[in-house]
């Protein structure tokens, strides 16, 4: 039996999945590729511009999903309201802000550029349950000491039961070899000028790229207690200074939860070459034109809640050395031949001075290195740019939500 395979990315993870579940030997051929549409859409009770992502499966020879452009996308409700979405970048964003409200039935409609029509099942907003707390808990996990981000939530009505989590991380970066003056190349000479832009303190961010699920269905209470959302090693540089995490909670239906559980199982297996080979699984989106056409995706209408926390490294690890900086920035300067990597004698503030070679000028001009002073006025130290200028890999714009 030949196995048809395809690649798809949803949501934020790349998966290799089989169209047919079987245990026959893997025999990949290019002509086995099957073009399948992928839809990722979550409507919540947030008043905002909502987003729908539409793409296509891609072959092993390709490196990224193919965005489905020029589609007509809208969401309708059972009162006849229609919310149009417009193509924006690599997704579709609602033209107007709106929110899902209780008791309304919502449905997603898609017409692709080739005229094919897709529609979701009708979905209602789930119980609106708030996150109770997000707590950083210092633990040792698998022999690694670190901090576990845990979430607590409860629904006294007992009607939530199924939960999905995502998170956004933001952390402060402080360049250890920052200097108040900046080396500026001018011809064959490097001069010093006061810095005019922030380059010492920056803020980086990253989003979760995994499927995080839990259920209280087997518990006597609909209560999420100390559920681990994220574990961070005490040696991870993202918590070297100050760290913040925004935990996002989505209350799901049983059907949505089952879909994401299956998706998570495939992603954990990593490949159809594993022993567990689930067959093609459908969500709640179907083709209007051909009932046999395979469609990947789920239109979910979920109640949403979020909570943000901050902490400093010393708050949680008061007697522990802070993690190393993201880049190697040695404080002790090597001697002998190794010192040539750091020192260069061609630095001078005199306009009549010329470099022995283009090294320092080119390194500064191309932002490969950054200046740092030494006790010897005839010499300078050149660190990797990231050591003295955090804008080389992060943003110097302080987020509006940030609290020091």
Query: In the block, which residue shows the tokens 């080979």?
Result: 277
Q: Let me know: does 71 contact 111? Beta carbons within 8 Å.
A: yes
Triad 216, 47, 215: Cα angle to 5°: 10
Q: How many CA atoms lie within 13 A of 331 on its CB side?
A: 4
Please give the Cα distance from 317 to 319 (Å, whole number): 6
Question: Closest by alpha carbon to 274, among 65, 60, 16, 102?
Answer: 16
pTM (predicted TM-score): 0.85
Tens digit of each residue's pLDDT, the chain (404 residues): 433 444 455 554 555 443 333 434 444 444 555 788 999 999 999 999 999 999 998 765 665 678 999 999 999 999 999 999 999 999 999 999 999 999 999 999 999 999 999 999 999 999 999 999 999 999 999 999 999 999 999 999 999 999 999 999 999 999 999 999 998 888 777 788 999 999 999 999 999 999 999 999 999 999 999 999 999 999 999 999 999 999 999 999 999 999 999 989 887 765 433 333 345 667 999 999 999 999 999 999 999 999 999 999 999 999 899 999 999 987 765 555 444 444 444 433 344 444 444 467 777 888 888 888 877 665 667 788 999 999 999 999 999 999 99
Cβ-in-10-Å burial (0-12, 13-18, 19+) of 49 comes to middle
Please give the Cα distance from 249 to 212 (Å, whole number): 10
Q: Let me know: does 211 contact 229? Beta carbons within 8 Å.
A: no
Cβ-in-10-Å burial (0-12, 13-18, 19+) of 343 comes to middle
Question: Closest by alpha carbon to 172, among 147, 198, 195?
Answer: 198
Cα–Cα distance list, 299 to 38, 180, 219 (Å): 11, 52, 27
């Amino acid at each position: 039996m030949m196995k048809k395979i395809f690649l798809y990315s949803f949501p934020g993870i790349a998966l290799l999945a089989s169209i047919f579940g079987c245990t026959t030997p893997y025999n990949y051929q290019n002509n086995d590729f099957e073009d399948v549409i992928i839809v990722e859409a979550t409507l919540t009770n947030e008043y905002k511009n909502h987003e729908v992502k539409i793409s296509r499966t891609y072959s092993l020879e390709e490196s990224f999903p193919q965005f489905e452009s020029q589609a007509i996308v809208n969401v309708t409700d059972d009162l006849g309201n229609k919310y149009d979405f417009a193509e924006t970048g690599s997704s579709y964003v609602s033209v107007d802000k709106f929110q899902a409200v209780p008791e309304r039935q919502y449905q997603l409609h898609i017409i692709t550029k080739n005229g094919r029509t897709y529609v979701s099942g009708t979905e209602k907003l789930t119980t609106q349950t708030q996150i109770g707390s997000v707590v950083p808990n210092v633990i040792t996990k698998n022999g690694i000491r670190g901090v576990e981000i845990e979430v607590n939530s409860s629904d006294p009505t007992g009607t939530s039961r199924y939960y999905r989590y995502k998170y956004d991380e933001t952390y402060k970066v402080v360049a250890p070899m920052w200097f108040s003056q900046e080396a500026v190349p001018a011809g064959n000479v490097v001069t010093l000028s006061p810095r005019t832009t922030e380059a010492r303190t920056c803020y980086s961010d990253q989003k979760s790229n995994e499927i995080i699920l839990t259920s209280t269905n087997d518990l006597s209470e609909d209560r999420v207690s100390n559920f681990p959302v994220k574990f961070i090693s005490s040696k991870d540089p993202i918590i070297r200074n100050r760290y913040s995490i925004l935990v996002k909670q989505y209350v799901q239906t049983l059907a949505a939860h089952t879909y994401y559980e299956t998706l998570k199982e495939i992603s954990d297996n990593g490949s159809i070459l594993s022993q567990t080979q689930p067959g093609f699984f459908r969500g709640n989106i179907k083709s209007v034109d051909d009932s046999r056409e395979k469609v990947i995706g789920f239109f979910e209408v979920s109640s949403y809640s979020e909570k943000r926390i901050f902490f400093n490294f010393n708050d949680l690890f008061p007697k522990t050395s802070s993690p190393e900086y993201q880049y190697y920035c040695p404080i002790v300067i090597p001697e002998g031949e190794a010192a040539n990597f750091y020192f260069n004698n061609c630095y001078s503030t005199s306009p009549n001075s010329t470099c022995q070679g283009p090294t320092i000028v080119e390194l500064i001009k191309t932002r490969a290195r950054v200046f740092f002073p030494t006790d010897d006025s005839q010499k300078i130290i050149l660190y990797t740019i990231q050591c003295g200028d955090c804008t080389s890999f992060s943003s110097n714009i302080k987020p509006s939500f940030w609290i020091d």
